[in-house]
């Protein structure tokens, strides 16, 4: 019986820990994102891969692919106080990217809107 309680307690602790550390899409509006990017209190990173970036990317975004974040690459920011908004094609890769970068001490806010959605919302493409 003690063994069963120990296993149950360990499982519950693991579930609570995992759910508490998981990043979520930001609740910041796209207008708030644009304002913070304009006033330089935030930066925008694209966590897609190089081939996707080459096919088109947003003006003033920096490429930091999820594959490289997983290998230890960090965004180039002047301070960990700078907000990092991250985006990808459809909003799926930003969550693991944010989890990793948040554990490294960055203020990361993953965008649910993907690349095409951001273009439709008025974010400018790079030329």
- pLDDT, mean of each 10-residue run, the chain (127 residues): 57 46 89 97 98 97 97 90 96 96 96 97 95
**Tens of pLDDT, residues 84-104:** 999 999 989 999 999 999 999
If one counts the domains in the chain, the total is 1
Q: Flag whether 48 is in a domain.
A: yes
- Residue 52 in any domain: the answer is yes
Alpha helix locations (H) across the chain? Answer: 2-21, 30-38, 50-55, 66-70, 94-103, 115-120
CATH label of the domain that carries residue 103:
3.40.250.10
Please give the Cα distance from 32 to 60 (Å, whole number): 16
Q: Which domain holds residue 79?
A: 24-120
């Amino acid at each position: 019986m003690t063994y069963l309680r120990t296993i149950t307690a360990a499982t519950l602790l693991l579930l609570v820990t995992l759910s508490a550390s998981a990043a979520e899409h930001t609740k910041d509006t796209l207008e708030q994102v644009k304002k913070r990017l304009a006033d330089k209190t935030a930066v925008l990173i694209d966590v897609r891969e190089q081939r996707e970036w080459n096919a088109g990317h947003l003006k003033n975004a920096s490429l930091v692919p999820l594959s490289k974040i997983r290998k230890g690459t960090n965004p180039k920011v002047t301070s960990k106080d700078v907000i990092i908004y991250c985006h990808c094609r459809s909003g799926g890769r930003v969550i693991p990217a944010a989890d990793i970068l948040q554990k490294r001490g960055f203020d990361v806010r993953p965008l649910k809107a993907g690349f095409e959605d951001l273009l439709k919302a008025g974010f400018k493409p790079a030329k």
